[in-house]
Copies of this chain bind each other. A is one copy, B any other.
Amino acid sequence: MIRLACDYQEGCHPKILEKLVQTNLESTPGYGTDAYCESAKAKIREACGAPKADVFLLIGGTQTNSTVIRAILRPCEGVIAVESGHINGHEGGAIEMGGHKVLTIAPHDGKMVAEELDKYITDTLTAPSWDHAVIPAMVYISQATETGSVYTLAELEAISAVCRRHKMPLFIDGARLGYALASEGADMTLKDIARLADVFYIGGTKVGALLGEAVVFTNTALSKSFFTIMKQGGAVLAKGRLLGIQFDTLFTDNLYFEISRHAVAMAMKLKEAFKAKGYRFYSESPSNQQFVILENEKLAEIEKSVQVSHWCKVDDKHMAVRFCTSWATTEETIDRVIELL
């Protein structure tokens, strides 16, 4: 069985595992105060061109989103996201558990549009009885988005400018940031992300690690007491070195970017094949996730040999499904899938 349902189906990139084996018997202090964590953070700051940034290593995406948002918002404040944003529908109410409403605007190909964000904020804060409603106070976007689309540099610049005009922190969910940076036609760099966001994270779980997300606060006014807020949210590992070793490895010799490039290249090959064979896409994605609309019969046939992810029902006869690549996806696998189409 070929598995392309998601980018978290295998363990971790072999170089990470090798490092875990090599360091296993070393004795280090707990809770992320070890030298591997320090080294990883230094390399991340360097890669981001943000020497003064505060970096924290958390465990998973939902946890990271809820912890960052909870740390920033005050009571009665909400976070603006597109309806398809991960925090809005796929996190079991984690943001609401922290006491905050997710305020939504319509996505366009999975992305937020700066002008619409601007209008939403202005309309909300000038509506009659606006102060009886949740006050928008930060903005959340995902890069790449939940459906694989990627913001261009110009789009990010525009959103960041709107946020700064309204004095609202911009938080970029980078669970798949590597794949966005390596996406076809990508015109933005990690340094751009660091410059335009107030806080963002570099996803590890879906980009080669066993687990782990590195949060970078370039706006360090927002990170006060963040370690204890993490602790409160159950986001601190006793053996924090597990995160340090992984990110240290990912940010050595460009491994993070290499993994991302490989996965995107595999996805692009698949995408070309879909296109050539006339498949309809559920979203236009230049990154490692490809969303295709399949007839139920065709899907059943493909699923005899390939495990994919059911995204949503399009109509009674069609399902949107996800094909997802990662460091572990070989070219052979892609070739076999293409044959099956």
Query: Which A residues have a C-beta under 8 Å from some C-beta of B?
Result: 1, 3, 5-6, 8-12, 14, 17, 20-21, 23-31, 59-64, 66-67, 70-71, 74-78, 89-102, 127-129, 131-135, 205-206, 210-211, 224-225, 227-239, 241-242, 307, 309-312, 328
Contact = CB atoms under 8 A, between A and B. Distances in A.
A316 to B, nearest CB: 13
Copies in the complex: 4
Given A96-B96, A97-B75, A228-B135, A238 B8 contact: yes
Contacts of A20: 11, 17, 20
Contacts of A26: 10-11
Contact of A92 (B71, B102, B127, B132): B132
A67 to B, nearest CB: 7
A26 B90 CA distance: 26
A7 B45 CA distance: 31
Given A62-B236, A66-B234, A328 B27 contact: yes
**Closest 4 interchain pairs by CB?**
A63-B234, A92-B232, A11-B24, A92-B231
Contacts of A97: 75-76, 98-99, 232-233
Given A11-B239, A26-B10, A75-B71, A90 B133 contact: yes
A93 B100 contact: yes
A312 B128 contact: yes
Contact of A99 (B9, B60, B96, B227): B96
A56 to B, nearest CB: 13
A213 to B, nearest CB: 10
A24 B17 contact: yes
Given A59-B59, A237-B60, A239-B11, A229 B27 contact: no
A25 B8 contact: no
Contact of A93 (B3, B59, B101, B128): B101
26 contacts: A1-B27, A9-B29, A9-B30, A11-B239, A12-B24, A14-B24, A17-B20, A60-B236, A60-B237, A60-B238, A62-B236, A67-B234, A71-B74, A76-B93, A76-B97, A76-B228, A91-B232, A92-B228, A94-B232, A96-B96, A97-B99, A99-B99, A132-B236, A134-B228, A206-B238, A211-B239
Contacts of A102: 101
Contact of A229 (B63, B64, B75, B307): B75
Contacts of A5: 29-30
Contact of A310 (B31, B128, B228, B312): B128
Contacts of A92: 76, 132-134, 228-233
A5 B129 CA distance: 13
A118 to B, nearest CB: 16
